[in-house]
Amino acid sequence: MLALEEARTRILAALEPTPAETVALAEGWGRVLARPVLARLTQPPADVSAMDGYALRAADGVAGARLAVIGSSPAGHPFAGEVGTGQAVRIFTGGFVPPGADAILVQEDAEEADGIVTVKEAVQPGRWIRRRGLDFAAGETLLPAGRRLTARDVGLAAAGNNPWLTVHRRPRIGILATGDEIALPGDPIPAGGIVSSNAHALAALVRAGGGEPIILPIAPDDRDAIAAAAGAARACDMLVTSGGASVGEHDLVQKALGPEGFALDFWKIAMRPGKPLIWGRLGRTPVLGLPGNPVSAMVCAVQFLVPALAVLSGLPAAPPATMLVRTGAPLAANDKRFDHLRASLSTDRDGHPVATPYPVQDSSMLATLARAEALILRAPHAPALPEGAEVEAIPLGQFGI
Amino acid sequence: MLALEEARTRILAALEPTPAETVALAEGWGRVLARPVLARLTQPPADVSAMDGYALRAADGVAGARLAVIGSSPAGHPFAGEVGTGQAVRIFTGGFVPPGADAILVQEDAEEADGIVTVKEAVQPGRWIRRRGLDFAAGETLLPAGRRLTARDVGLAAAGNNPWLTVHRRPRIGILATGDEIALPGDPIPAGGIVSSNAHALAALVRAGGGEPIILPIAPDDRDAIAAAAGAARACDMLVTSGGASVGEHDLVQKALGPEGFALDFWKIAMRPGKPLIWGRLGRTPVLGLPGNPVSAMVCAVQFLVPALAVLSGLPAAPPATMLVRTGAPLAANDKRFDHLRASLSTDRDGHPVATPYPVQDSSMLATLARAEALILRAPHAPALPEGAEVEAIPLGQFGI
């Protein structure tokens, strides 16, 4: 059985980012840049005022001075002339500082009447002037390739005058649920069967990770059906199967895909829940075979599929983000399998996050998994810990997972 | 000037969730439930095995016993008969425990040859049997109204046999950027003008918050143009303007909307960046007027628009999520305005998050805002703090903001 970290490293090392595509700036949010975004202009384009007030010569800005107001320079409407000795120009935040002026008299230190402004408080040369290029200069890299764009990034790309962005195509992930016993919600349920939850949960997780899910029709436990359904994998950046990954006689995914050219890398991981996990390649398409058990499938997806989506999207290879929490209950010593305790999150008196594992951790309890706000991570052979000890946990809900 | 918390409370109190709509389960991810999701079946539907092995009568399961294997019960294919004395049924994880059987002999404790299974380790009655309804029972509430659906929730709703969900309609947010000086990226830039970044940054933020942005054409600094553009607000759940919110002569939003029936609630907040902020109502449509400065606009959007989107979406009224961090630099005492220091995030030797404010906090520096990973919150009159002190911060990037 492979260690969890080694399995993840092997999975991520086998993946490449999707090719680039051009999208409109307005579609850029959440996408990963395939090329850097450069500034196509200098911002601010000239020295501008940081305040409402008057632009003047610093030498004129002594207390008691009276200056002739010869015009105004609001944002977007630069004053056409020059400021001479004894003169001032009304200016507003973002307005260009007119030639000749080298100081700003802020509004509350000024008094204007009949076209004359009186200086009530001496100015400081350069104070309240934002220099040309303070924010960025033309040609500068505003956003590097490989960055997932936030709302602020979209604003910065806009400010740099970029109507288009070059991003990685959303990874297309084929999702194939297998099993005679499963039916889609609302469809007739076979005797002894259950409603399929993995395909749609995984599709939602793919969306959460910025991918484009393609839900393939459910394949019954039949080699030909699975092989045929997997043919759809050729159009995908990755095929994710669920079910048929354990050792029982009814585990067909490996057998069905073998004759189609499936090359297995590994298929067992020292983790709980989720021991059986297939990783390999069908032609050029990577294949991740998740367990059929919904809780195991989702925990494996958090540990392997979410990071895989990141790499396919053009982000660096990395484990899922974790946070330090205090355990809300004593933890038993762990055995040889990496464990994931479903836990609720709360905050202690000092404002620190506390993760409390649910008392029953049965891997068939999907309702408990859905309610969970974090997975407490327990490395193989981790020692017993008292309540309040610091542990690492993967927060779930805040990422939509 | 209003305190930030009071302003947010007034904004959120004035909002109502959008009405409900029906969406397919596959479209449910990230949506907020308007009605609870109920279990339409019991899971598991019968007692099932938690392991691969043999179902038998506990009384027969003593070490050395030899039992006749009379059939099998894989998941999805229940055994039709009954298990009698001296008999066993091959069973797989998720398979129904056949009538008569009340114990599971796990595979590694069994040896099968010629239709006879030999018990190598005595069984315990009921062990490895998952009882009917362990996960959930028909009629039970699986997911409450008002919950934003995670990928796991989508799986749980599916497992409960729900092909449809009743969710709040995505809030439609009209976005109106105003100003003579601004142009869209790629469009000709007027002399002295700048490229508009607010509309697209705010639209991305609306998407990040689960809303549907409608970017209205830029309105020049002209009462009639602003009033006409704002007419589009009638089809929106909220109108967000940017620009024209401060006290200068060129601040037209209030004047332009007044004759259209705009009712102002307040328009100045003791915060930095972002003092000028309009809150009111145009007919039935709430109006949030953000400052024109891009950094101020985004910080105000984080503090007011993101929580407003949550309430419009059907979530509880709440401030943005914060985290406790250690400050990576000494912090000066704060004045009377609630401050938001743009900061980078790192991790100290003990694994604790550290937020380090950028040395220059000028509100015109959009590149610094985009680079920031958190906003350190400094309440009015907060005392000076040494490096390493604990402070509250709003994490930005991880929510796509």
Least confident of A193-202, B222-231, B285-294, B384-393: B222-231
Residue B74 pLDDT level (bands cut at 50, 70, 90): confident
Cα B323 from Cα B18, distance rounded (Å): 29
> Does residue B24 belong to any structural domain of this protein?
no
How many Å apart are CA A91 and CA A88, to the nearest integer?
A: 9
* Average pLDDT score over chain B: 93
Does B271 lie in the same domain as B188?
yes
Q: Is B266 helix (H, G, I), strand (E, B) or coil?
A: strand
Q: Count CA within 13 A, CB hemisphere, residue B89.
A: 29
Nearest CB among B134, B247, B362 relative to A364 is that of B134
Same domain, A346 and A276: no
Nearest CA in chain B to A75: B181
Last residue of a domain, one of A130, A159, A186: A130
The lowest-confidence range among A220-234, B95-109, B248-262 is B248-262
φ, ψ (nearest 5 deg) of residue A295: -70, -45
What does each C-alpha distance from A318 to A14, A303, A305, B79, B363 come to in angstroms?
A: 13, 10, 12, 46, 34
Q: How far is A15 from chain B (nearest CA, A)?
A: 23
Q: What is the dihedral of CA A356, A359, A364, A369, to 10 degrees?
A: -20
- Using the predicted structure, report yes or no on whether residue B97 has a pLDDT greater than 50: yes
Confidence of residue A227 (pLDDT cuts 50, 70, 90): confident
Q: Are B35 and B20 in contact (CB under 8 A)?
A: yes
B148 shares a domain with B111: no
Same domain, yes or no, for B186 and B60? no
B182 interfaces chain A, CB cutoff of 8 Å: yes
Task: Establish if A125 belongs to a structural domain.
Answer: yes
Q: Please tell me the least confidently modeled range out of A341-350, B126-135, B220-229.
A: B220-229
CATH number of the domain encompassing residue A63 = 2.170.190.11
The alpha carbon of residue B188 is apart from the nearest alpha carbon of chain A, in Å, by: 10
Q: How close B212 comes to chain A (CA, Å)?
A: 12
Give B303-314 pLDDT, tens digit per residue. 999 999 999 999
Interface of A with B in 1-20 (CB under 8 A): none
Say yes or no for a CB contact (<8 Å) between A292 and B399.
no
Chain A closest-CA separation from residue B357 CA (Å)? 17
* CA-only gyration radius of chain A, Å: 31
Q: Is B349 on the interface with A (CB under 8 A)?
A: no
* Mutate which: B54, B152, B206, vs A, most A CBs within 10 A: B152
**Sorting pLDDT into bands at 50, 70 and 90, what band is B354?**
very high
Q: B389 with B306, same domain?
A: no
* Cross-chain residue pair A74–B248, CB shorter than 8 Å: yes
Residue A211, domain CATH: 3.40.980.10
- Enter the tokens of residue A200: 């749609």
| CB within 8 Å of B286: residues ≥ 6 apart | B11, B14, B15, B237, B238, B239, B279, B280, B308
- A318: in domain: no
Nearest Cα to Cα of residue B11 among B280, B382, B344, B316: B280
The H-or-E segment that residue B39 falls in is none
| pLDDT tens track for A187-204 | 999 887 889 999 999 999
Residue B174 lies in a domain: yes
Per-residue confidence band for B340, with pLDDT thresholds at 50, 70 and 90: very high
Same domain flag for B179 and B272: yes
Q: Which residues in chain B have Cβ-Cβ distances shorter than 8 Å to A179?
A: 75-76
* pLDDT at site B250: 52
> Please, what's the b/e burial string for A159-195 (b: 16 or more CB within 10 A of its CB; e: otherwise)?
bbbbbebbbbbbbbbbbbbbbbbbbbbeeebeebbbb
Residues of A in contact with B134 (CB under 8 A): 362, 364-365
Of the candidates A69, A134, A126, A76, the one whose C-alpha atom is nearest the C-alpha of residue A103 is: A126
Determine the distance from the C-alpha atom of residue B399 to the mean position of all C-alpha atoms in its chain, rounded to a whole number: 8
- Peptide bond before residue B383 is cis, with ω within 30 degrees of 0: no
Enter the ipTM. 0.92
Find residue A12's DSSP bridge partners: none
Q: Are residues B146 and B186 in the same domain?
A: no
pLDDT band, very low/low/confident/very high, at B55 (cuts 50, 70, 90): very high
Model confidence pLDDT, tens digit, residues B201-256: 999 999 999 999 999 999 888 888 888 887 888 889 999 999 865 555 456 677 78
Q: Please choose, from the candidates A212, A214, A217, the residue with its C-alpha nearest in 3D space to the C-alpha of residue A184.
A: A217
Residue B23 has pLDDT above 90, yes or no: yes
pLDDT confidence bin for A79, thresholds 50/70/90: very high
- % chain A with pLDDT above 90: 78
Given a cut of 60, whether residue A179 has pLDDT beyond it is: yes
- Residue B232's Cβ-count burial label (10 Å; 0-12, 13-18, 19+) is middle
Beta carbons of B250 and A74 less than 8 Å apart: yes
Does B193 share its domain with B253? yes
Helices (H), A258-339: 294-300, 306-313
CA angle at residue B155 from B149 to B160, to 5 degrees?
105
8 Å CB contact of A74 and B186: no
Rounded mean pLDDT, B311-331: 96
Residues forming a β-bridge with B104: B55
Same domain? For B350 and B340 the reply is yes
* pLDDT above 60: residue A59: yes
Overall average pLDDT of the B131-144 stretch: 97
Q: Which of B93, B192, B196 sits opposite A78 (nearest CB)?
A: B192
Q: Is A310 left (phi over 0), alpha (psi -120 to 50) or beta?
A: alpha
* DSSP per-residue codes, B110-168: EEEETTEEEESS---TTTTEE-TTSSB-TT-EEE-TTPBP-HHHHHHHHHTT-SEEEEE
Q: Does B43 touch chain A (CB under 8 A)?
A: yes
Could you tell me which residues are beta bridge partners of residue B175? B215, B240
- Supply the DSSP string of A225-253, one letter for each residue: HHHHHHGGGGGSSEEEEES--SSSTT--H
Give the separation between CA B237 and CA B283, rounded to whole angstroms: 11
For A225, other C-beta atoms within 10 Å of its C-beta total: 17
> Which chain A positions have a beta carbon within 8 Å of B131's beta carbon?
none
Domain C-terminal end among A279, A313, A347: A313
Beta bridge partners of A290: A242
Asked if residue A383 has pLDDT above 60, the reply is yes
DSSP character at residue A367: H
User: Which residues of chain A does B28 touch, with a Cβ-Cβ cutoff of 8 Å?
Assistant: 204
Query: How confident is the model at residue A246, as a pLDDT?
Result: 57
- pLDDT band, very low/low/confident/very high, at B44 (cuts 50, 70, 90): very high
- Domain assignment of residue B243, yes or no: yes
Token digits for A363? 């891997």
Provide the greatest CA pair distance for chain B. Answer: 96
A128-157 residues touching B, CB cutoff 8 A: 130, 134-136, 142-143, 148-157
- Same domain? For B252 and B375 the reply is no
Q: Looking at residues B189-198, what average pLDDT do you find?
A: 88
What's the burial of B333, exposed, middle or buried (CB within 10 Å: 0-12/13-18/19+)?
exposed
List the strands of the sheet with B103-106, edge to edge: B103-106, B53-56, B87-91, B66-73, B116-119, B110-113
Residue A108 sits in the same domain as residue A163: no
- Whether the CB of A71 is below 8 Å from some CB of chain B: the reply is no
Q: Worst-scoring range by mean pLDDT, A201-205, B129-133, B188-192, B251-255?
A: B251-255
Same-domain pairing of A122 and A151: no
Tell if the CB–CB gap between A202 and B151 is shorter than 8 Å: yes
B175 touching A (Cβ < 8 Å): no
Q: What is the pLDDT of residue B246?
A: 57
| Token duo for residue B312 | 């419009």
Nearest CA in chain B to A152: B370
Chosen from A152, A161, A205, A293 to mutate, greatest number of chain B CBs within 10 A: A152
Of the candidates B78, B100, B130, which is a domain's last residue?
A: B130
Q: Distance, in angstroms, between A198 CA and closest chain B CA?
A: 6
Taking CA–CA distances from B398, the nearest residue in chain A reads: A399
Residue B26 in domain? no
**Domain range holding B123?**
48-130
Q: Which helix (H) or strand (E) holds B361?
A: none
Considering only residues B253 and B177, tell me which one the structure prediction assigns the higher pLDDT: B177
Instruction: Search chain B and give the residue with CA nearest A395.
Output: B398
Closest to B191 (Cβ–Cβ): which among A78, A246, A249? A78
Tell me, what's the pLDDT at B249?
47
Q: Is residue B23 part of a domain?
A: no
pLDDT of residue A249: 47
CB pairs under 8 A between A and B: 309
Q: Does residue A390 lie within any of the structural domains?
A: yes
Chain A nearest C-alpha distance from B159 (Å): 5
Q: How many domains in chain A?
A: 4
State chain A's mean pLDDT as an integer. 93
